[in-house]
Chain A
Amino acid sequence: MSEAKNIKFNIYNPIITYEHRAAYDMIVSHLQEIFPICNQGKCKALEVSDDPQKQKQINDLMEKVEFFSNSLITITKVFFDQLYRAKQTSSQSISQSTAMIKIDMIERNLLERTCDVRWWALEKAFWQCITLSNNSKSNGKAKSSTNSNNKALKEAVELACTRLEDIRNSYTLYRDLVIADTNGVIIANSNSDRRSKVIGMNVADEEWFKKALETKDGTEYFVQDVSDSKLEDMDALIYCTALRSNGDEQGDVIGAMGVLFDFQGESQIILNDYLPKDQNDQTLEGWFSFFTNKEGKVICSSDETFISSGEITDLPRNHRNLTKAGEAIVSTGSVCGNRSLIVSHKSKGFDEYKGLEWTSHLVLPESAMFERSDTNENFGISPQELMNSKLIPEKNQQTYREIQRNKGDIQLISINGIILATDLGKAGTSFIPIFDQITTTGNSTTGKMEELLSEMSSDMLEQNLKALENFSKQAVDLIDRNLFERAADVRWWSTDHAFWEALQEGSEENFEQAAKRLGIINASYTMYRDLVIADSNGRIVANSKSENRDKLKRMNVSEQSWFRQGMQISRSVQFGVQDVCDSELENEETSLIYCGGVLEEGQREGKVLGVLGIFFDWENLVFPILEGCLPRIKGEVVEGGAAFYVNDEHKVIATTDSENFKIGQVVKLPSENLNLDAGESASGIFTANEKKYIIGSSKTQGYREYQGLGWTAHVVRPID
């Protein structure tokens, strides 16, 4: 017990609860009472026996009792330190994961945005509109503009606005989308409410516009970090790239496209998630979550009153100056007048996407780390089983064993003392109450310590269950957000002129053009295995991957669910999805297929000509999501930890542990974890493959207008 010197949470630390201080006083005062009893025993030994050997035996026993009592007093001091340290470590680790989840969530979202803008800039309606506008300006200078030219430009601007609106309707994450000519004059926008203000505005002095014109080719983009822009009243996060002649990725720059991401709306959802709420759904006092940019300025906050956007917070300097990607720091300090735990996690980007060097901060009252939960559900696990489980740090288990051993030793001494006293006959009877008292004190003090250890272990269980719930919620949120994007993609792409033209004309040349267009999309977005167009008879007429072309051309998909759903579509905001299954189209590989209706003349509402089907690269994309949601200790995945998704029939559809939780298997889980309502989370304990697991589960609640497919994410870790 050399740790006695390094005690952080001694009993005078204000964080120690009143109940724990009272328990400490009780244990120590009871143990102190043993010493006079032992002295009394030593004196009595001289009184009742002349035999020096008997006297020595009694003296030895009393000294042993004194030794173990002293040892228990030392353990008691260390014990409270360990109790609080264990809760602190566990709580810090969970808070750190939460801060990381938030920054990871926003980064994944921003990665999608970089794909969007590059693809949209190739849209025919936009480059045609800008070309006409540029021509009309040069003609205007030559004073030879005609009415027909003006009419054509007006129509082109109207079409561009319509197409920008279509994008905004498909991808509801944007506040506005604009296209500007090379002089920086806004020619068209998506948000009709702001159209009169925005069209004609000159943005030539804005950084995003200048940088967009500097992009080398269609693969480049620029993002302007959250800052002022004339385009909006609030701070804007703008993704941009150049518009090029004839929509050619290598063409001359003819203008710029800027898309204004609803950063504040999206961040508010993420920041307010994972924060504890009261009965009125208000975040508890002292809990804050916010993002800062690379200058350390707040860019969005869960509580704008106390921590406002645009300001530098009063966080400790080392939290404001994180430099390395993925760096995290945890400390305690004062925030908004509260003694708080502060956790900061700098973005590490996502895959090749480097991110904007933002940092996620989570602040919670220091006392929240040590609070006891009200529920105290034991899930049918005994305190002893819990104490010996993997959830309890080895150091605490050692203390538990030491207490048990001392308790056993005191019991042994007492009984041997009674044996010795009995041997002394009538003279020895006066010893019996002394040893009885020693037994009683030993039992009551060690009993109290066991009670506290049991309290700690149930708190640790509670914290770990909460952490698994958070991970499962992260897993389901990430897949929902990802699939929302797929739903947005398919709706927008279905309106592409190349597709409806091909299905209307029906010529090989048009189909070739459509296939080329599908190929460009697939090259821009890395998450699809293939994209196909089927005509109204279910015959595949074009696809993105040339190597699949011969095989697919002979195929009829009229009986497949995604095709039938697609043929029911009559509005461009609709889409269909075929849940994860083995697809004939992909050599029986597991597929998740989204579909959109290709409507006549690319109109928003009309007759369906055929179906666009996009094949999400399910296995390759879902595995990293699940892997990122596995329970970790100090960055390392907990041994035996697993995460898996189940569909609405409770069948596993993706897993990180194909040995214990197989694809297609219905895992026997507690009913609370199986029968969740949309958006609900639960935790519990179950046994599978002769192992006891703790589990956190969350059912999809969808994301924005995407309803989800009724899936549930489960994250588990073995405890024995």
Chain B
Amino acid sequence: MLYSTFYLGDTQMAVPIPCILEIGRSFKFHPVRGAPEVIDGIINLRGKVVTIVNLGLAFEEIKIEPSDESRILIFKNNSELNEVADSDTVMETAPDNIGIHVDRISDVIRVESEELQAVPSNMVHPFYKNVVRRGDSFIIILEPSKILNLHETPDHLS
């Protein structure tokens, strides 16, 4: 399967390409009063309202500020994901279109299923699904549904 890779600080992460609807530059976010701090705001994507999660804050780290390099990965909602032709893998995102704000994007990589390794027990995290080795470095495969459904795990990092 193809994965889109990106960086959060120095950590390279990846999500499956079929889950992504589109990748864009940092849009103008409309702030939402009362929304959790982890939400940068909402955007209008060709008529669709999309909530943007600041991935930096989702990991309780440093907030990602919009820059020339920062990007938004907008995920398909569950029904759009089901419509994707030839989708032979069971995947889930969220009922709504949600985007994540990342530091910068990198390459698209192809990962065979046998390359996916379990997350080592001492670095288990609710958002982590697998780890893939590429040369001397590692790429963490994220579980989009966990990031996109933060309300289901209010104490998400516990």
Q: For the complex, what is the distance from the CA of A439 to the CA of B24, rounded to whole Å?
A: 16
B152 at the interface (CB under 8 A from A): no
B84 in contact with A415 (CB, 8 Å)? no
Interface size class of A (residues with CB under 8 A): 10 to 19
Instruction: Give the residues in chain A near B20, CB-CB below 8 Å.
Output: 419
B22 in contact with A419 (CB, 8 Å)? yes
Pick the interface stretch among A8-16, A109-117, A371-379, A421-429.
A421-429
Candidates B18, B22, B69, B86; contact of A426 at CB < 8 Å:
B86
- Least distance between A352 CB and chain B CB atoms (Å): 55
Instruction: Give the residues in chain A near B25, CB-CB below 8 Å.
Output: 408, 412
B2 in contact with A412 (CB, 8 Å)? no
Please list 7 pairs of residues, one from A and one from B, whose beta carbons are closer than 8 Å in the complex, sorted by A's number.
Answer: A401-B68, A408-B25, A412-B71, A415-B108, A418-B108, A425-B86, A427-B85
- Least distance between A692 CB and chain B CB atoms (Å): 22
A425 in contact with B24 (CB, 8 Å)? no
Q: For the complex, what is the distance from the CA of A432 to the CA of B4, rounded to whole Å?
A: 13
Instruction: Give the residues in chain B near A415, CB-CB below 8 Å.
Output: 4, 23, 105, 108
Contact bitstring A287-319, B, C-beta under 8 A = 1, else 0: 000000000000000000000000000000000
Known: A401-B68, A416-B22, A418-B108. 18 other contacts (CB 8 A): A404-B68, A408-B68, A412-B23, A412-B24, A412-B71, A412-B105, A415-B23, A415-B108, A416-B23, A419-B4, A419-B17, A419-B21, A419-B23, A422-B17, A423-B85, A427-B85, A439-B107, A439-B108
Instruction: Give the residues in chain A near B68, CB-CB below 8 Å.
Output: 401, 404-405, 408
Least CB separation from A418: chain B residue: B108
If A412-B25, A415-B23 touch, whether A422 touches B69 (CB-CB below 8 Å) is no
Instruction: Give the residues in chain B near A590, CB-CB below 8 Å.
Output: none
Instruction: Give the residues in chain B near A411, CB-CB below 8 Å.
Output: 105
Instruction: Give the residues in chain A near B84, CB-CB below 8 Å.
Output: 422-423, 425
Interface size class of B (residues with CB under 8 A): 20 to 34
Q: For the complex, what is the distance from the CA of A254 to the CA of B143, rounded to whole Å?
A: 107
Q: For the complex, what is the distance from the CA of A262 to the CA of B84, rounded to whole Å?
A: 92
- Least distance between A118 CB and chain B CB atoms (Å): 67
A424 in contact with B85 (CB, 8 Å)? yes
Least CB separation from B87: chain A residue: A425
Instruction: Give the residues in chain A near B86, CB-CB below 8 Å.
Output: 425-426
- Least distance between A525 CB and chain B CB atoms (Å): 61
- Least distance between B97 CB and chain A CB atoms (Å): 14
A-B residue pairs, 7 tightest by C-beta? A425-B86, A425-B85, A422-B17, A419-B20, A418-B108, A423-B84, A426-B86
- Least distance between B76 CB and chain A CB atoms (Å): 9
B2 in contact with A422 (CB, 8 Å)? yes
Least CB separation from A443: chain B residue: B107
Counting chain B CB atoms within 10 Å of each CB, the highest count among A419, A432, A439 belongs to A419
Scan residues 1-44 of chain B and give those whose CB is less than 8 A from a CB of chain A.
2, 4, 17-18, 20-25
Contact bitstring A391-430, B, C-beta under 8 A = 1, else 0: 0000000000100110010011011101100111111000
Q: For the complex, what is the distance from the CA of A404 to the CA of B84, rounded to whole Å?
A: 33
Counting chain A CB atoms within 10 Å of each CB, the highest count among B17, B24, B105, B108 belongs to B108
Q: For the complex, what is the distance from the CA of A720 to the CA of B4, rounded to whole Å?
A: 35
Least CB separation from B5: chain A residue: A415
Least CB separation from B85: chain A residue: A425
Least CB separation from B4: chain A residue: A415
Least CB separation from B76: chain A residue: A423
Q: For the complex, what is the distance from the CA of A592 to the CA of B95, rounded to whole Å?
A: 83
Least CB separation from A432: chain B residue: B2
Contact bitstring A12-33, B, C-beta under 8 A = 1, else 0: 0000000000000000000000
- Least distance between B22 CB and chain A CB atoms (Å): 6
Q: For the complex, what is the distance from the CA of A523 to the CA of B21, rounded to whole Å?
A: 87
- Least distance between B79 CB and chain A CB atoms (Å): 14
Q: For the complex, what is the distance from the CA of A414 to the CA of B106, rounded to whole Å?
A: 11
Instruction: Give the residues in chain A near B108, CB-CB below 8 Å.
Output: 414-415, 418, 439
Least CB separation from A417: chain B residue: B108
Q: For the complex, what is the distance from the CA of A15 to the CA of B4, rounded to whole Å?
A: 45
Least CB separation from B104: chain A residue: A408
Least CB separation from A436: chain B residue: B108
Instruction: Give the residues in chain A near B21, CB-CB below 8 Å.
Output: 419
Instruction: Give the residues in chain A near B22, CB-CB below 8 Å.
Output: 416, 419
Least CB separation from A420: chain B residue: B22
Least CB separation from A413: chain B residue: B23
- Least distance between A79 CB and chain B CB atoms (Å): 19
Scan residues 30-77 of chain A and give those whose CB is less than 8 A from a CB of chain B.
none
Q: For the complex, what is the distance from the CA of A422 to the CA of B80, rounded to whole Å?
A: 13
Instruction: Give the residues in chain A near B2, CB-CB below 8 Å.
Output: 418, 422, 432
Instruction: Give the residues in chain A near B85, CB-CB below 8 Å.
Output: 423-425, 427
Q: For the complex, what is the distance from the CA of A415 to the CA of B25, rounded to whole Å?
A: 12
Q: For the complex, what is the distance from the CA of A418 to the CA of B22, rounded to whole Å?
A: 10
B23 in contact with A423 (CB, 8 Å)? no
Scan residues 93-125 of chain B and give those whose CB is less than 8 A from a CB of chain A.
105, 107-108
Least CB separation from B80: chain A residue: A423
Instruction: Give the residues in chain B near A424, CB-CB below 8 Å.
Output: 85
Least CB separation from B21: chain A residue: A419
Q: For the complex, what is the distance from the CA of A378 to the CA of B88, rounded to whole Å?
A: 52
Q: For the complex, what is the distance from the CA of A414 to the CA of B4, rounded to whole Å?
A: 11
- Least distance between B30 CB and chain A CB atoms (Å): 22
Q: For the complex, what is the distance from the CA of A423 to the CA of B22, rounded to whole Å?
A: 11
Scan residues 49-108 of chain B and give those whose CB is less than 8 A from a CB of chain A.
68-69, 71, 84-87, 105, 107-108
Instruction: Give the residues in chain B near A427, CB-CB below 8 Å.
Output: 85
Contact bitstring A436-449, B, C-beta under 8 A = 1, else 0: 00010000000000
Q: For the complex, what is the distance from the CA of A227 to the CA of B150, rounded to whole Å?
A: 92
Candidates B17, B69, B87; contact of A408 at CB < 8 Å:
B69
